[in-house]
Each structure stands twice: as structure tokens, then as C-alpha cells.
Structure 1
Amino acid sequence: MQKIIGLYLNGCPYCKNARLSIEELIKENPEYGKVPVEWYEETEHPEISKQFSYYYVPSLFIGQEKLYEAQPGQSYDEIKAHVKATFDAALKA
């Protein structure tokens, strides 16, 4: 199992949906709750965020590998599917 690094911005609706989808996924499958996730607000932790290659938030990484980067206009269901894929990858690693 690998740790997920999440980069976000306060007030970002896509970031809010990503966090809500994580809560929902954990309710659906408690194994997801075992995956360690470290969240960093990009303006509060620029020393962390500048270590990663991304443009939009939320962005989810395992190590330096970007597994998800939100795109403008994504629906909640699209975000949840990408977050689930990231958690599945973390569980397999």
C-alpha cells in the first residue's frame, strides 16, 4: 500500500468534491480508509506543491506519479471515478 499526496486549494469546488468522494468511497469499501493520504493546501505549503508537476487541483500523486488532476467542468461522478482509480492503485502498490 502506498501513500497518496493530495494538493488542493481552499474554496475549490472540485477539491470539495474529491474529499466528499473519498468519504463516500470509504463508506462503500472500508479498505480505502486504510490508505494514507497527506493533503497540502498549495498556497500554505508552496515548498511541497512546487515539488509536483500539475496545473489544476485537486491533484493526486503516488510518489511523483500524477494519478489524477481535475479538469474544468468535471462532474462529481467523474471526480469520484478518478479518485477511486487512485485509491485502487495505492492499494495494489
Structure 2
Amino acid sequence: MKKTELFYLKNCPYCKQAIRWMNELKADPKYADIQIKMIEESEEAAYADAHDYYYVPTFFIDDVKVHEGAATKEQIEEVLNKSL
């Protein structure tokens, strides 16, 4: 599995939706083993600041940004597929 990280803010409605879809998709055995490190950017500001992004939610796979900003369920699924 690839190193997958999600940068989010706990009060962001787009992040909440992305996390709901991510958890829903991870119920599928195909995605169940994917480990996603979740970084709440206001709580881990120094780590978040070391990454090049502006909008949340943002996904990085192996330190490469693969999605930034509001997402559709299909885009979340695409991120999970890239994480396999």
C-alpha cells in the first residue's frame, strides 16, 4: 500500500462529506486495508505547512498531491484506487 494522507479541518463541511464518502467506500473489501493518515491542519499546523496545498480536503499519496478541495464521491474513489 502507498502512504496516503488526508489534510482536513474538523469544521469544514467539504471535509466532513469527503470523510463520510471515504468511510463508506472503505467498507468495500477492495479498499478496507488502505491506511489513511488524517491530519487536522489546525492541530498539526507545522506538518500541514510543510505541504503545498491551499484548500481542504487534500489528499497526498507518497507525498504527491492527488486531490485538493471539494470532492465528489467518484473523486474520493479515484484517490482510493490510486492508494492501492
Give TM-score scaled by structure 1 length: 0.82
Matched, 1:87 2:84: no
Does the 8 Å contact 1:5/1:62 carry over to 2? Answer: yes
Q: Corresponding residue for 2:25? A: 25
The equivalent residue for 1:13 is 13
Q: Is the 8 A contact 1:35 1:90 kept in 2?
A: yes
Identity across aligned pairs (percent)?
Answer: 33
- In structure 2, stretches of 5+ residues that fail to align are none
Is 1:68 equivalent to 2:67 in the alignment? yes
Which residue of structure 2 lines up, in the alignment, with residue 75 of structure 1?
none
2:42 is paired with a residue whose SS is coil
- 1:3 deviates by 2.2
Runs of 4+ residues deviating >3 angstroms: none
Distance 2:42 2:58 in 1: 14
Number of residues of Structure 1 aligned to a counterpart in Structure 2: 84
Using a 3 Å threshold, how does the CA distance of structure 1 residues 7 and 44 change in structure 2: closer, same or farther? Answer: same
- Structure 1: 5+ residue stretches without partners: 72-77
Q: Distance in 2 between matches of 1:12 and 1:55?
A: 14
Instruction: Quote the residue 1:41 is aligned against.
Output: 40
Relative to its length, the structure with more helix (as a share) is: 1
1:4 corresponds to: 4
Q: What is the CA RMSD across the aligned residues, in angstroms?
A: 1.2
